[in-house]
Structure formats: structure tokens, C-alpha cells
Amino acid sequence: MTQPPAMEDGFARVPLGRDWPDIRDAVRAICAKYPGAYWRALEDSGGFATEFVAELTEAGFLAALIPEEFGGSGLPLRAGGVILEEIHASGCEGNTCHAQMYMMHMLVKHGDAAQKARYLPGVASGAIRFQSFGVTEPATGSNTLELRTTATRDGDSYVVNGQKIWTSRALHSDLMTLLVRTTPLDRVKRRTDGLSILLVDIREAKGAGMTIRPIETMVNHQTNEIFFDNLRVPAGNLVGEEGMGFRYILDGMNSERILLAHESIGDARFFLDKAVAYARERVVFNRPIGQNQGVQFPLARAYSEYRGADLMTRAAAALFQAGQTCGDEANLAKMQSGEAAWNAAEACLQTHGGFGVAREYDIERKWRAARVQRIAPISTNMVLAYIGHGVLGLPKSY
Ligand SMILES: Cc1cc2nc3c(=O)[nH]c(=O)nc-3n(C[C@H](O)[C@H](O)[C@H](O)COP(=O)(O)OP(=O)(O)OC[C@H]3O[C@@H](n4cnc5c(N)ncnc54)[C@H](O)[C@@H]3O)c2cc1C
């Protein structure tokens, strides 16, 4: 029988050339110190990956997108994506630390000089953990424009009241980005007006009008509900102009979608590597199971989807970096990579038969995480709705 090609770089290797090879190698070297057993133990204890995040911070990876003048590396979005892709391809979890990467552009682009000087060097060094993004609310869900958390100006503060849900990492973050309504919906011309962004110092806010309650989920995502009861936030923590927050947050959302698309690309590589290796090795009925087309074709299809999603993700990152409109590509990349990773996860789990559900193989852990990527930060339906009415010009459903 002809020998299959060597799998030096993993079968689902980076197909268009290994851009940022030094970063990829260095991230993988760190990830190698945090194998599946580390993540399984955290799931058992409900713990947070403090050591993993500290090591990535120490190595400068979480400051990759912060401009050099504030102590970061000033690298393009693609480099940040490559870091997250390698974390995921290694079986580790980017949700422990990805938020500061995607919130950075919003702060760099729309924050004032005092805010940047106050926060960015600390974020770059790791002294300030900037990992929480409070948008979603229990009553309004995907309908962000109708969110109900309000901030009312009172002297040199804003007084915040309301509730957020699914705010990830709030208990492991010092600073959060909070989207609030500063002008009631019935007093604005457009629904996108009247929303504002506040930087909330969680260290000061906890117990002084802000209460954080963890939510148990099927993944160790460290997500929470947050209650605001007359929380006072200094007016100097308003990002940009009052009422313009939704426009600013769109910048953050595009970078979030593109960066998280890279995570799904990494997941797809993880699943394909594992599944292809197993399908070659596992012999049943006197043949490798991968010789059966019932096993082979789902893997081939998942590989095809992963390659397409990788191209879209690279295109979205390039447009973002060039300062061009990239909402369509950011959404497409997020959806396509999320679907590719999920189909690879399904094929991988099925290929492993009973071993797919054994915890020590780490497939079921990553499978659960890949499932969440089809819901958060944007659900597949909302991307389809965006394409339907925003791109194809079909009537809007909401
Ligand atoms: C693990 C996890 C971490 C998260 N982290 C954060 C975070 O850090 N910060 C944050 O702000 N949010 C976070 N989220 C929230 C996430 O962004 C939302 O769950 C997501 O946007 C969907 O909102 P929802 O859960 O309220 O669903 P809903 O809006 O209630 O929707 C429920 C379902 O109905 C579908 N649906 C709703 N309206 C339509 C329509 N018009 N057409 C078609 N389908 C529709 C949706 O697609 C979805 O499948 C997180 C969520 C999870 C699960």
C-alpha cells in the first residue's frame, strides 16, 4: 500500500503558507505546556486559566494589536487572528483572553488621549485586564438597539441602571466596555442613535452598584449576568461622543467577528488533524476506517469547508486592515468558519466512535466549544438575516 504523506505540520496544515511563522511557532510552544489535562481540570473545578493567560501576556501576545507607543507591538489584525488560530489548533481556549484584542481597535480609534494614556500601557503590560464586553441583555437578546440599560448624566458622572447577561470574564477583568442607552429610544431620530460606550473600572464598581453573578454553562466560559444599580461611572470614561456608541461598537464587532473566525479556523484544524490521524490508524474489518467513504467523505467535506472559510477570513482581515468596509466579509467569515469548525467537530467525533465521547481524547470538550461558536457572539441566523436584507436586498424580517 502507498504510504500516506507525512503529517509534519498536521494534515490540515495552513494551506496558503504559514504567514507569521515565528508567531505561530512561539504560540504553539506556549500551548504545548497547557495540554488537555490542564483544560479538563479547569472544567472540573470551574477555574480560570490564569497561568495560561499570564504566560501569553508575558510573551506579549495579548498586546499584539496595541500600538507601539502604548507598549504593544502594533501588529495588524491578521497577526492577532493567527495567535488565536494557533491557540485553538493546539487544543487551548482563546475565550480566556480574546476580548482585549477585539476591543482594542474601538479604544484606539475612538478613545481620547487621556483614556489611551491611562489604560493602554497597563493593558499592554498585563497590569490591567481588559477582557469584558457588556452588550447582550436578558430581555432584548439579539435586538441590541433596544437594550434597556441606561446611563444618565449627573454632574461629572453617569449613573448606570439595568442588567447585562452573558458578560464573559467579568470576574477576571479589571476594565469592561459597556454599551448603554443615554437617550431614550422615543427621543432619537434613528434607532442606532442614543447609545453610548462607557469604560467601567470593575475594581471600583464591584459592590458599589455593580453585582456579578456567574452562569453555569456546558463550556467553561466564565460568563456572567451583571446588575447595575445606580452605579456611578466618571463622565471622563465615556468613549467618543455621547449617543454615537453604536457606530463605534461596529468597529469592535467587525474585529471581534474576524478574530473569532480565526479561532474557528484553528478548531477546524484541530478536529481534522485528530480525525485524519485516527482514521488512518484505526483498523476495523481488516482495513483502516478512513478507507470507508462513509468515514472519509465527511472529513473531505469538512476540509473543503475549512479551506473556503480560511480564504474568507483572510480576505476580511485584509479589508479591515486596509480601513475598507468589511462588514459583509467579517460576517461571512464568522459564519463560514463557525460552520466549518462545527462540521469538522461532528466528523471528528463520529470518526472516533466511542472514543469520541471519552473525556481524555479532548474531542468532546472542543466539540462543545465549537457548538457555542454558532451562537455567540452572533448567532448563525443573525448573519443570515444580515446577508438576506443587508447584502441581497431582501425585505427585512425585523
Ligand atoms: C458562552 C457565551 C458567551 C457570551 N459572551 C458574551 C459577552 O461577553 N458579551 C455579550 O454582550 N454577550 C455575550 N454572549 C451573548 C451572545 O452574543 C448572545 O447569546 C447571542 O447574541 C444571541 O442572543 P440571545 O442569546 O439573547 O438569543 P435571542 O436573541 O433570544 O435569539 C434566540 C434564537 O432566535 C434566533 N432569532 C432571534 N431573532 C431572530 C430573527 N429576527 N430571525 C431569525 N432568527 C432569530 C437567534 O438567532 C437565536 O438562535 C455570550 C453568549 C454565550 C452563550
Q: What is the pLDDT of residues 341-351, one digit of tens each?
A: 999 999 999 99
Q: pLDDT for 311-321, tens place per residue?
A: 999 999 999 99
Domain boundaries, the chain: 21-125, 130-245, 247-391
Ligand 1 contact via 135 beta carbon (within 6 Å) = yes
Ligand 1 atom index nearest CA of 135: 11
Ligand 1 contact via 387 beta carbon (within 6 Å) = no
Q: pLDDT for 173-188, tens place per residue?
A: 999 999 999 999 999 9
> For 203, how many CA atoms within 13 A lie in the half-sphere containing its CB?
8
> For 318, how many CA atoms within 13 A lie in the half-sphere containing its CB?
7
- Ligand 1: centre distance to CA 142 (Å): 5
- Ligand 1: centre distance to CA 170 (Å): 18
Ligand 1 contact via 133 beta carbon (within 6 Å) = yes
Q: Are 39 and 92 in contact (CB under 8 A)?
A: yes
pLDDT at 10 over 90: no
Say if residue 247 is exposed, middle or buried (CB neighbours under 10 Å; 0-12, 13-18, 19+): middle
Q: How far is CA 133 from the centre of its chain?
A: 11
**Ligand 1 pocket test, candidate residues 43, 143, 375, 389, most atoms within 8 A of CB:** 375
Q: Which of 85-89, 100-104, 210-214 has the lowest mean pLDDT?
A: 100-104
Pull the grid cell for residue 308: 473556503
- Catalytic residue check, 146: no
Ligand 1 contact via 211 beta carbon (within 6 Å) = no
pLDDT at 1 over 50: no
Give the pLDDT confidence score for residue 309 in this predicted structure: 97
**Ligand 1 pocket test, candidate residues 96, 131, 166, most atoms within 8 A of CB:** 166
Ligand 1 atom index nearest CA of 168: 8
Instruction: For residues 140-147, give the mean pLDDT.
Output: 96
pLDDT at 306 over 50: yes
Instruction: For residues 140-158, give the mean pLDDT.
Output: 97
pLDDT at 31 over 70: yes
Instruction: For residues 163-173, give the mean pLDDT.
Output: 98
Label residue 252 by pLDDT band (50, 70, 90): confident
Q: What is the pTM of this model?
A: 0.96
- Quick one: fold of 130-245? Butyryl-CoA Dehydrogenase, subunit A; domain 2 (2.40.110)
Q: What is the DSSP letter of 17?
A: -
Instruction: For residues 294-306, give the mean pLDDT.
Output: 98
Q: Are 135 and 147 in contact (CB under 8 A)?
A: yes
Ligand 1 atom index nearest CA of 99: 8
- Quick one: fold of 21-125? Butyryl-Coa Dehydrogenase, subunit A; domain 1 (1.10.540)
Say if residue 127 is exposed, middle or buried (CB neighbours under 10 Å; 0-12, 13-18, 19+): exposed
Q: Are 150 and 182 in contact (CB under 8 A)?
A: yes
d(CA 176, CA 233): 12
- The residue whose C-alpha atom lies closest to atom 13 belonging to ligand 1 is 166
Rg from Cα positions in the chain: 22
pLDDT at 242 over 90: yes
Label residue 167 by pLDDT band (50, 70, 90): very high
Whose grid coordinates read 458599589? 208
Ligand 1 contact via 168 beta carbon (within 6 Å) = yes
Which residues lie closer than 8 Å to 307 by C-beta, 6 or more apart?
15
Residue 186 vs residues 146, 181, 190, 191, 194: alpha-carbon distances, Å: 11, 12, 9, 9, 10
DSSP 318-379: HHHHTT---HHHHHHHHHHHHHHHHHHHHHHHHHTGGGGG-GGGSHHHHHHHHHHTTTSSS-
**Cis bond upstream, residue 395 (ω within 30):** no
d(CA 288, CA 265): 27
How many Å from the N-terminal Cα to the C-terminal Cα in the chain? 58
- Over the chain, what is the mean pLDDT? 95
Give the pLDDT confidence score for residue 3 in this predicted structure: 47
Label residue 297 by pLDDT band (50, 70, 90): very high
Specify whether domain 247-391 bears CATH 3.40.190.170: no
Ligand 1 contact via 136 beta carbon (within 6 Å) = yes
**Ligand 1 pocket test, candidate residues 142, 165, 202, most atoms within 8 A of CB:** 142
Instruction: For residues 329-334, give the mean pLDDT.
Output: 98
Instruction: For residues 21-31, give the mean pLDDT.
Output: 97
Ligand 1 contact via 166 beta carbon (within 6 Å) = yes
Residue 337 vs residues 49, 196, 330: alpha-carbon distances, Å: 25, 31, 11
Ligand 1 contact via 81 beta carbon (within 6 Å) = no
Catalytic residue among 256, 305, 339, 364: 256
Q: What is the DSSP letter of 129?
A: -
Q: pLDDT for 203-226, tens place per residue?
A: 999 999 999 999 999 999 999 999
pLDDT at 8 over 60: no
d(CA 62, CA 83): 9
Percent of the chain scored above 90 by pLDDT?
93
